[in-house]
Amino acid sequence: MLEIDPRTKIDAVLGKLEKALTDGDIDAAASLFQADCYWRDLVTFTWNIRTMEGPDHVRDMLAKQLAAIKPNHFHQDPAHPASESGEITEGWFEFETDVARGYGHIRLKHGLIWTLLTTMTELKGHEEPKGTRRPMGAEHGSDPSRKTWKEKREREAAELGITTQPYAVIIGGGQGGIALGARLRQLGVPTIIVEKNERPGDSWRKRYKSLCLHDPVWYDHLPYIPFPENWPVFAPKDKVGDWLEMYTKVMELNYWSSTTCTSAQYDENTKEWTVTVERDGKEIVLRPKQLVLATGMSGKANIPKFKGQDVFKGEQHHSSQHPGPDAYSNKKVVVVGSNNSAHDICAALWEAGADVTMVQRSSTHIVKSDSLMEIGLGDLYSERAVASGMTTRKADLIFASLPYRIMHEFQIPIYNAIREKDADFYKRLEKSGFMLDFGDDDSGLFMKYLRRGSGYYIDVGASDLVADGKIKLVSGVGILELTEDSILFEDGRELKADLIVYATGYGSMNGWAADLISQDVADKVGKCWGLGSATTKDPGPWEGEQRNMWKPTQQEALWFHGGNLHQSRHYSQYLSLQLKARKEGIPTPVYDLQKVHHLS
Amino acid sequence: MLEIDPRTKIDAVLGKLEKALTDGDIDAAASLFQADCYWRDLVTFTWNIRTMEGPDHVRDMLAKQLAAIKPNHFHQDPAHPASESGEITEGWFEFETDVARGYGHIRLKHGLIWTLLTTMTELKGHEEPKGTRRPMGAEHGSDPSRKTWKEKREREAAELGITTQPYAVIIGGGQGGIALGARLRQLGVPTIIVEKNERPGDSWRKRYKSLCLHDPVWYDHLPYIPFPENWPVFAPKDKVGDWLEMYTKVMELNYWSSTTCTSAQYDENTKEWTVTVERDGKEIVLRPKQLVLATGMSGKANIPKFKGQDVFKGEQHHSSQHPGPDAYSNKKVVVVGSNNSAHDICAALWEAGADVTMVQRSSTHIVKSDSLMEIGLGDLYSERAVASGMTTRKADLIFASLPYRIMHEFQIPIYNAIREKDADFYKRLEKSGFMLDFGDDDSGLFMKYLRRGSGYYIDVGASDLVADGKIKLVSGVGILELTEDSILFEDGRELKADLIVYATGYGSMNGWAADLISQDVADKVGKCWGLGSATTKDPGPWEGEQRNMWKPTQQEALWFHGGNLHQSRHYSQYLSLQLKARKEGIPTPVYDLQKVHHLS
């Protein structure tokens, strides 16, 4: 029998898919999918971020969207040839809708579609001015009314938000707001980024001084300007801060630093926000059409309530307020919590000569940074991946092509391998009394991140200090109350403390909406982040995608943007295209708007 | 007969070359070259920038250098396959010397070497910390004496030049000093860049306000951080300024702004410079081992002497001092000169409503920017080149592989084509009385740039203003003298003027050495720039390479760095490697040190 090559197999399915879709034959289209199929769409078919699971779900989506979307021109990308491994054939393709150009990834199993990823690349007629479309800069010819680039930039900065109104306002100028702002600028969407700190990058600079990125450089690039090849694997916070500051400048963002948003209301009639900000002490009212909260995916600081917090005479603060160890070198410090920040803060305090105790209240997932890099990310985001021709864009798309429903199945073997490789390390740690876990289903760090955004530490050294008893540990016992100078535990133990750091994490991002807009709107929107996996801190029902992130919410014209540098980079693309389409009056029929099952 | 493929042909010659060189058989090596051969070496064989012309010259170089250099391990680069076109076979290869790794390009004609380019990539044991060698950033583990990245940077900035001495000092912090500074930082050569302006980029910001780069973006990338794909083709000066400022910051250069170098002396015994600078009004003495003048390849401003300059009551300044047109909107302005700056300044003044006259004293080469981009640079530096897989590195090497001796032969047809394409334009311009030329041998702009660094205008619109009489023209007649309010010409004409701008170019860079060091050292070093082509302003004898640029001079430990962004990028590589080798005590036997035929 003749072997059919992967390219031909993919061509055949894409051809049938295109015919079914252009014929409006939804049954024919659905019949091309496996029973256990996953179609993940990033705003091309659904104007939403949605994964259709199974042919019925595909059928439902197409029934509602197909007539408006008008997909066509499916063809494989000649630059990325199809390939085959075991029973899976995979390939890359370009396609169009009525209003956009898209890029996709497909995996076939037994000749039928197992996974399908469709993503929006650009809106027709609104392509970004880059590459062959880049601006000329110098305007050739002569013109007595000509303004220089600098004059135009200065005028825009002076007028936007004062005499002209931005189309979008982004609250929060960390990496999320900056990456989204850069994309919106390229798309010609007038935008103001509101940031409470003095300088772009201060959200990093102001954190505890030993902080470095926990994700490696290949995973962290911003859009448009990748880090140079001399950039550190794990960049120190101040270096990241400087990069964000220069990026904001050279990407020409309208960045209002030293500005605090005090309130925001949406007028359903005029379809306009009233956003009140205080800029350098002066109140300014902005009237954008769209409001994006990019105030940190971790949302507002969680500070647990204990009896006696008003009695304790030492210092108490949340980890987000912790200034670093310098002032505490001979002090007794208790850090409540056992995730990333808790470990980093404990290690820095120990290095500075403090007497440090970590209070672990529930089990924690620990993974050594080197093992995570090598086993967890190496194929997509590493020097090895770069050498093999992997680009950031391709890695992001492969990453995005794995359906959340089954992602844990791919993750479990990775963490089993890590557990085996680092068995001695884990044994030593457990011996110290530290409570370890690998997630409810042993799927490890990345699933914990997607489901709850917490519950882990990427070890860069602090775990050894715990195992060796240099960082003292109180584990598995509750805090009863605080006295004037100590913490009393439920088992009767007492721990003297000059400082208590609450490294106790953050609430859902809709907490910001409660503060800035109203509790009603926060409740209307509901919980942000998490997949509905019915695991710890991620209650069901199953959502299939992260709740409320980068996509329409129950509150018209309110959006949430955030996550790590990878997500800020990749998902800002889809959020920016959604906002641009709305600005241009392009129809954006949303399939299956986010439902609300939890308030926070 | 069997066709021999290009790869095999190149392999055969490289194999013979390697054998001859490792055997020390200089005659055998020379016999592999054509009679009209050119071997261009960028610091691998010669520790100099030299082109050997003809087999005897090759033989002479090898006789002096081979024993010390110990070249070997020649092999084709599998990533860049050999190719053939007409009688020319060309290929790319890697090789090593005793102390370095190199990269080369070879062209065969009739089976013999016609052109050979050998360039140094890195010094063994001193590879740059990039890619797989990039720093970790976060230091895993724990260490009570740990300093953060920020603390280390701040300490370095506070100590270098005060309590510790830099190995190199670069005078001039424009794109040249910055690009070289970045490479030296990567190589671990402690360096201070001294710049008189307040901020990096001010050397661009402070020039006339309509200024944009005359070279397109693909030609202009800096090392390590290329411009993003949204960067304008011809970047406005202030945007370039901002880029240089952020680059200086993120590349962590020790950049002393608001600092003026007042004098420099070399002590031949201690092999050390005494460089006196005034930093924010305070005198500081630096004691580097190496001194680089990167003060602008155009050197010091040329201001012609005319009778009556002391009598004229209006304003007079050199183009480098021209603030832009805003203050002159209803004034009579005479611009003396007809090159790039003269045209740009005239056009900006005309746009601002000034009454402008250009005084053309000698013929000028004009080429329209679009034609130059398309016909002159398009194969190597363009969006089209990028799309065809051309990288900046490869383009730079191809560019470098063309021997200066015959470069005009490749350039003449380009300018003939441009002359034909733009025939109407040139006719209109000549009709206005403008004196045109295409260089002494019709080889056009790039040869003029290499030979004399002047004599041309890349037209972005001003020529139409001249042709239309909007910019008035006085051409081919000398200036007799200035009166209180006018210029008198030799033909009796008188021109009233409120402002005279001398767009009259610059002297040789060794003029800076005269000012900062001594006239003796300036004379010992001699003229900088130019090839010795025996054409206007580039007297012979033939040098084969640009005089004194990026290579050892007759003054030990004194170096000249400069040129456009392309040259700053590419040649900073070779200059930085020369400095690094000297710092590490690696032998650097120089072949055929620059001879001095002209003092300025």
Give rounded-to-5 percent helix, strand, coil for chain B.
Answer: 35, 25, 40
- Read off the tokens for B212: 């944009």
Q: Do A232 and B136 touch (CB under 8 A)?
A: yes
Task: Give the Cα separation of A305 and A112 in Å (integer).
Answer: 54
Measure in Å the smallest separation between the Cα of B133 and chain A Cα atoms.
8
Burial of B79 (0-12, 13-18, 19+ CB in 10 A): exposed
Residues of chain A with Cβ-Cβ distance to B131 below 8 Å are: 229, 383, 386
Best of A206, A229, A468, A565 to disrupt the B interface (most B CBs within 10 Å) is A229
CB contact under 8 A, A383 and B131: yes
Choose, out of B250, B251, B576, the residue to mutate when testing the contact with A (most A CBs < 10 Å): B250
Distance from C-alpha of A20 to C-alpha of A557, rounded to nearest angstrom? 34
Peptide bond between residue A541 and the one before it cis (omega within 30 degrees of 0): yes
Least CB-CB distance to B232: which of A134, A210, A242?
A134
Q: Which of B231, B250, B462 lies at the smallest CB-CB distance from A246?
A: B250
Q: How far is B17 from chain A (nearest CA, A)?
A: 31
Measured between CA atoms, the residue of chain A closest to residue B459 is A140
- Residues of chain B positioned with their CB less than 8 A from the CB of A461: 140-142
- Cβ–Cβ under 8 Å, residues B212 and B235: yes
DSSP state string for A450-506: HHTS-SEEEESSHHHHHHTTSSEEEES--EEEE-SSEEEETTS-EEE-SEEEE---B
Would you state the structure tokens that stand for residue A134, as one six-digit string? Answer: 């880049």
Measured between CB atoms, which of B150, B228, B232 is closest to A236?
Answer: B150
How far apart are alpha carbons B560 and A344 in whole angstroms?
48
Instruction: Please give, rounded to a whole number of angstroms, the shortest distance from the CA of A365 to a CA of chain B.
Output: 18
Distance CA A457, CA A429 (A): 13
Residue by residue, DSSP assigns A96-109 as E-SSEEEEEEEEEE
Instruction: Tell me which DSSP letter residue B455 carries.
Output: S
Cβ–Cβ below 8 Å for A136 and B233: yes
Give the Cα separation of B65 and B68 in Å (integer). Answer: 6
**Which residues in A lie closer than 8 A to residue B149 (C-beta atoms)?**
236, 238-239
The CA-based angle B535-B539-B541, given to 5 degrees, is 110
Instruction: Name which of A228, A461, A470 is nearest B225 (Cβ-Cβ).
Output: A228
The crossing angle, in degrees rounded to 10, of helices B237-250 and B175-186 is 20
How close A386 comes to chain B (CA, Å)?
A: 9
The Cα of A462 is separated from the nearest Cα of chain B by a number of Å equal to 7
Give how far A263 is from chain B: nearest CA, Å: 34
Is the separation of the CB atoms in A368 and A419 below 8 Å?
no
Q: Quick check: B142 and A232 CB within 8 A?
A: no
Alpha-carbon distance values, B196 to A189, A415, A497, B171 (Å):
39, 57, 53, 9
- The tokens 């392509």 sit on which residue? A127
Task: Return d(Cα A502, Cα A513) in angstroms, integer.
Answer: 23
Interface mutation target, options A134, A221, A249, chain B, most CBs of B under 10 Å = A134
Q: Do A233 and B134 touch (CB under 8 A)?
A: yes
Q: Cβ A229–B134 below 8 Å, yes or no?
A: yes
Which of A101, A143, A90, A87 is CA-nearest to residue A573? A101
Q: And the tokens for B4?
A: 């021999």
With an 8 Å Cβ cutoff, are B369 and A138 in contact?
A: yes
Among chain B residues, CA nearest to A224: B228
Q: Maximum Cα–Cα distance for chain A, whole Å?
A: 84
User: How far B343 CA lies from chain A's nearest CA (Å)?
Assistant: 12
> What are the tens digits of pLDDT across the range B223-269?
999 999 999 999 999 999 999 999 999 999 999 999 999 999 999 99
ipTM for this prediction: 0.91
- The two three-digit tokens of residue A380, written as one number: 């997509």
Which residue is it, tokens 């672990």?
A360
Do A137 and B210 count as a contact with CB atoms less than 8 A apart?
no
Of A234, A352, A461, the CB nearest to B141: A461
Among B140, B156, B222, B425, most A C-beta atoms within 10 A, so best to mutate, is B140
Min Cα separation B226/chain A (Å): 8
CA–CA separation, B203 vs A436, rounded Å?
58
Of B129, B225, B232, which is closest to A135 when you measure between CB atoms?
B232
The distance of A65 to chain B (nearest Cα, Å) reads 34
Cα distance between residue B211 and residue B216, in whole Å: 13
Q: Mean pLDDT of successive 10-residue segments in chain A (600 residues)?
A: 84 98 98 98 98 98 98 95 95 98 97 97 97 86 83 96 98 97 98 97 86 91 96 95 97 97 97 97 97 84 94 95 90 96 93 95 94 87 92 96 95 95 97 97 96 93 95 95 97 96 91 95 96 96 97 98 94 98 98 95
CA distances in angstroms from A284 to A161, A198, A276, A538, listed in the order given: 8, 17, 6, 39
Contacts of A199 in chain B (CB under 8 A): none
Cα gap A454→A160, rounded to integer Å: 38
Residue A183's CB: how many other CB atoms inside 10 A? 24
Residues of B with Cβ-Cβ distance to A235 under 8 angstroms: 137
The residue of chain B with its CA nearest to that of A129 is B230
Decide if A548 contacts A526 (C-beta within 8 A): yes
**Buried-exposed string B189-228: b where 16+ CB fall within 10 A, e elsewhere:** bbbbbbbbbebbbbbbbbbbbbbbbbbbbbbbbbbbbbbb
For residue B233, the distance in angstroms to the closest alpha carbon of chain A comes to: 5
Residue of B231, B234, B351 with shortest CB distance to A138 = B234
Q: Please indicate whether, in this complex, the C-beta atoms of A144 and B353 are within 8 angstroms of each other.
A: yes
Q: At which residue do the structure tokens 């990456």 appear?
A: A179
CB A585 within 8 A of CB A579: no
Q: Look at A137 and B242 and tell me if their CB atoms are within 8 Å.
A: no
- Regions in chain B scoring below 50 on pLDDT: 1
Q: Do A132 and B369 touch (CB under 8 A)?
A: no
Rounded to whole angstroms, how far apart are CA atoms A148 and B209? Answer: 7
The alpha-carbon gap from B473 to the nearest alpha carbon of chain A, in Å, equals 17
Q: Verify cis geometry, omega within 30 degrees of 0, for the bond prior to B288.
A: no
Check if the beta carbon of residue A265 is closer than 8 Å to that of residue A290. Answer: no
Residue whose C-alpha is closest to residue B190's, from B170, B161, B220, B166: B166
Q: Do B230 and A224 touch (CB under 8 A)?
A: yes
Cβ-based contacts under 8 A for chains A and B: 174
Task: Specify the pLDDT at position A137.
Answer: 87
Contact B143 A351 (CB under 8 A): yes
pLDDT value at residue B1: 47
Contact call for A461 and B225, based on CB within 8 A: no
A51 Cβ contact list (under 8 Å, min separation 6): A38, A39, A40, A41, A403, A404, A405, A544, A545
| Alpha carbons B543 and B595: distance in angstroms, whole number | 9
Q: Find the CB nearest A210 among B148, B232, B235.
A: B148
Which residue of B130, B149, B228 is in closest CB contact with A230? B130
Q: What is the pTM of this model?
A: 0.94
**B227 alpha carbon, distance to own chain's centre:** 19
CA distance B23 to chain A (A): 36
* Largest Cα–Cα separation, chain B: 84
Provide the pLDDT for residue B273. 98
Q: Are A377 and A396 in contact, with CB atoms under 8 Å apart? A: no
Specify the pLDDT at position B420.
96
Exposed, middle or buried: residue B87 (CB in 10 Å: 0-12, 13-18, 19+)? exposed
Q: Using the beta-carbon criterion (under 8 Å), do B138 and A243 form an inter-chain contact? A: no
Q: Note whether A141 contacts B461, CB cutoff 8 Å.
A: yes
Nearest to B230 among A129, A136, A462 (CB): A129
Contacts of B142 in chain A (CB under 8 A): 347, 350-351, 461-462, 464-465, 470
CB A71 within 8 A of CB A95: yes
